Structure 1
Amino acid sequence: MNRPALLALCLIAAGCVGQHDLANADRPDRAKTPETFDASPDLYDGKTIYVGGYVWATSHWWSDHVRQSPKDLTNCLNIGPSRFFQHRRRDLKGKWLMLKGIYKKGSWAGSLSACKKDNGLFLDDDYMEMHYPGLVRDKKDPREN
């Protein structure tokens, strides 16, 4: 087989595999928007996901969330209590971040939350601290070294 034909075959095969994996969100290069996860909550429930969006962190953890766009509360995911958010609220509000965590369908049902849908994300705090070391901590927690 000549080189151009072999290259074409490899590219076609890679494209087919890539198309098959589009539903996954288990790597940063496959990050999705909050709307994608809320459209198919059963598909992602309990799985590690990456989601990109604008973070809204307030003085209360129950109103922390990630939005698809800065003014859109329709397409957003709630964010559970997080060590990463707890000490960086001032720096996080309104910033676009890639978040990693476990998606949970219905975890906010009947509780205080910012997003109208009951779905959300429990962050992988270690991943967040490793990938966003430049975000300034609001205050030192005396329990930490």
Structure 2
Amino acid sequence: MHQREIWKKLEDPKTSSEDLQRFWEKRHRIGDALTVEERETLRERLALHPNLPTSVARALALARPEFLVHSPVLELLLLEAPDLFLGISSVRLTLLLRQTHPPQALLDYLTSHPDPMIQEVLSDASH
């Protein structure tokens, strides 16, 4: 798949989750031809795609959670994968909550997080 085709697929909301999954599985081969900036743009566009597969969302949550936080399907992803942000350190989650305007779905999701630091940030955000 050529770069131009990849960009088209990522911009097309009709691209299936299966196609996105295949793209993710081939990302290393594709990524070799891209600059670091282009790779980051690809991750971001992938995270924002309405047909983002849960398996890809899990990988993106670990690699670049700040992209995933603004996914239009975040609520659905959290229903399908309640442990989506489980592998992310509390420090990183705290920074994420403080640096962005997190959607309500993420705030609701993190209310049961066991780390007191996360709870403190959530408490500050609600005041």
**Bucket of the pairwise TM-score, normalised by the shorter protein:** 0.3 to 0.5
Q: Which has the larger radius of gyration?
A: 1
Give the structure-2-normalised TM-score: 0.34
Give the structure-1-normalised TM-score: 0.31
Higher relative contact order (CA 8 A, sep 6+): 1
Q: Which is strand-richer, 1 or 2? A: 1
